Amino acid sequence: MPTRSTSVTPGVSTATTSTGGPASAGSSSGDPERPTPQFEVSPVPPNPLGEGRCIRTAAALIIGDEILNGKTLDSNSHVFAQFCFQHGIDLKRIEVIPDVEDEIIEAARRLSSNHDLVVTSGGIGPTHDDITYASLAKAFNTTLVHHDETIRRMKIMNKHRKWATLQTPEQKEATLRMALFPANAEVIFVDPEIWVPVVRLGGKLCVFPGVPGLFQRMIKSLANFIPLPPKSERPRRIQIFTDRAESLIAPYLTKLQARLRPHNIQVGSYPILYKGVFVSLIGKEAPATAAGSAEPTERVWLADIAKEVEREIGGRILSEEEVVEHKKQADLSTKWEEAKGMLKEAEAEAKEGSHRTVGLKAKI
């Protein structure tokens, strides 16, 4: 892991002023001619898992009533799943819970005890229902303290914002809640243009804002600060597309999965409405081992398996760019079919209404 230039700061007491919110963490005053402040990032902290160990398993804890009631679409768990796959981490669980203290405490303790890395998203703003930090402090048996360096960075970000000078004492106090962290937490600044830090508890649980743009940028930057698996251990994914029906290729795929299971290669099939099926192969190109033996039995190359699948299902191996384009076209086709269905329903209702009007006139 690379070396950074400043220190990881623990939570410390005292605070005076400031304002600002995570939603504006990566922007300056809104003036395109005023550059965004550049902050120092933290150094890479010691490996919390122990020397030589790396993160193998992960979980995501998405916190927010707005997710559960449908007001907000959760995209952060998807971004985190992509992050885990890219870096060879096995994402075991994604949970969505409400802004309820007891549920946050229970989930944080359970997930942290069962996984090497836990990421939370949401509930760290200045309002009354943002209770993530307070709940996590209780989960890790500590109190809350203001963090001076975070407050300093907030003040720098907001010094050119007019609204920041017009805040009442109550509004300033609410703003400072965003720098009120569990006392025993590590505070890690991961991006030079973002004042919001990643707050880590117990060496495993990392607290992130719920704002998608911030979450995506900060989770990407976190890769520089945590013990990731070596690149040689990261899985590879190959996708093959066929226009055959899923039922026609199912017998072959069932046999293929049984054959590849000892080699830790996953076979998945994902139908696209009105189009065909994506077959996905995920695995590491490493030799399998026989039961009770440390010696490899044979080496299975993912690329060779993909060519076999391509041949057997009458499909074609696609690049990542082609997969994205295929799915875009499939989404458009699905929306078009849905629109045609809605049009037919509307025409039927209009026709029915016309018949009723004729019948009513006849009675009159």
In this structure, are 167 and 212 located in the same domain? Answer: yes
Name which of 215, 203, 163 is nearest 23 in CA terms.
Answer: 215
In this structure, are 47 and 121 located in the same domain? Answer: yes
Measure the CA–CA gap between 11 and 364, rounded to whole angstroms.
Answer: 82
Confidence of residue 272 (pLDDT cuts 50, 70, 90): confident
User: pLDDT tens across 311-358, in order?
Assistant: 999 999 999 888 788 767 766 666 666 677 777 777 777 776 665 555
- The per-residue pLDDT for 23 is 52
User: pLDDT tens across 53-87, in order?
Assistant: 999 999 999 999 999 999 999 999 999 999 999 99
What average pLDDT does this structure show over 3-16?
Answer: 40
- Does residue 298 belong to any structural domain of this protein? yes
Q: At what angle do helices 212-222 and 76-86 cross, to 10 degrees?
A: 20
Quote the number of domains for the chain.
Answer: 2
- Does residue 350 belong to any structural domain of this protein? no
- The per-residue pLDDT for 2 is 43
Joined together, the tokens standing for residue 330 give: 């499939």
Last residue of a domain, one of 295, 318, 341: 318
Name which of 206, 184, 46 is nearest 112 in CA terms.
Answer: 206
Question: Residue 119 pLDDT more than 90?
Answer: yes
In this structure, are 135 and 217 located in the same domain? Answer: yes
**Which comes out higher in pLDDT, residue 359 or 309?**
309
Q: Phi/psi at 34 (nearest 5 deg)?
A: -100, 120
**Which comes out higher in pLDDT, residue 330 or 88?**
88
In this structure, are 199 and 250 located in the same domain? Answer: no
- The per-residue pLDDT for 32 is 53
- Does residue 347 belong to any structural domain of this protein? no
In this structure, are 212 and 263 located in the same domain? Answer: no
Last residue of a domain, one of 170, 195, 222: 222
- The per-residue pLDDT for 36 is 79
Amino acid letter, residue 95 = E
Contact (Cβ atoms closer than 8 angstroms) between residue 112 and residue 157: no
Q: What is the percent of the chain where pLDDT is above 70?
A: 80
In this structure, are 242 and 291 located in the same domain? Answer: yes
In this structure, are 64 and 168 located in the same domain? Answer: yes
SS3 362: helix
User: pLDDT tens across 22-44, in order?
Assistant: 655 554 445 555 677 899 999 99
- The per-residue pLDDT for 105 is 98
Question: Residue 21 pLDDT more than 50?
Answer: no
Question: Residue 262 pLDDT more than 80?
Answer: yes
- The per-residue pLDDT for 292 is 56
Measure the CA–CA gap between 219 and 80, rounded to whole angstroms.
Answer: 7
Give the residue numbers spanning the domain of 308. 235-318
User: pLDDT tens across 281-300, in order?
Assistant: 999 865 555 455 555 556 78
